[in-house]
Structure 1
Amino acid sequence: MNLLLVADLSALLVDLDAEGAALDTVLQAMPHESWSLPTPSDGWNIAFQVAHLAWTDEASLLAVVDEAAFLAEAETLLAQPKGFIDRTAAVNAELSPEELLVLWRTGRASLSTALAQVVEGRKLKWFGPPMSAASMATARLMETWAHGYDIADALGVRPVPTARLRHVAHIGVRTRDFAFTANKLEVPTEEFRIELDTAGLDAAGVSSQEWVWGPEGAAQRVSGSALDFCLLVTQRRHLEDLDLVSVGTQAARWLTIAQTFAGPVGGGRAAGQFAQQQPEGGNL
Structure 2
Amino acid sequence: MPGVFVHRRDTHYADEPYGQYQFPKVYLSRASQFEGDWAVYYEPVKAGGRGFYAVAWVERIVPDPTRDGHYLALIKPDTYLDFAHNVPRTIDGELVERDLANAQAAVRPLSQRDFVRIIDLGLGDDENTLPRIGDPATPFPPSLRDNPRPFRFEQERVRTESLTSRIVRDRVFRTAVLAAYDKRCAMTGLKFINGGGRAEVAAAHIRPVAANGPDSVNNGLALSGTAHWMFDRGLISLDDDLSVLVSRHVNDIDSLKRLLRSDRKAIEPLDPALRPHPSFLAWHRENVFKL
TM-score (norm 1): 0.30
Considering fraction of residues, name the structure with more strand.
2
TM-score (norm 2): 0.29
Q: Higher relative contact order at CA 8 Å, sep ≥6: structure 1 or structure 2?
A: 1
Q: Which has the larger radius of gyration?
A: 2
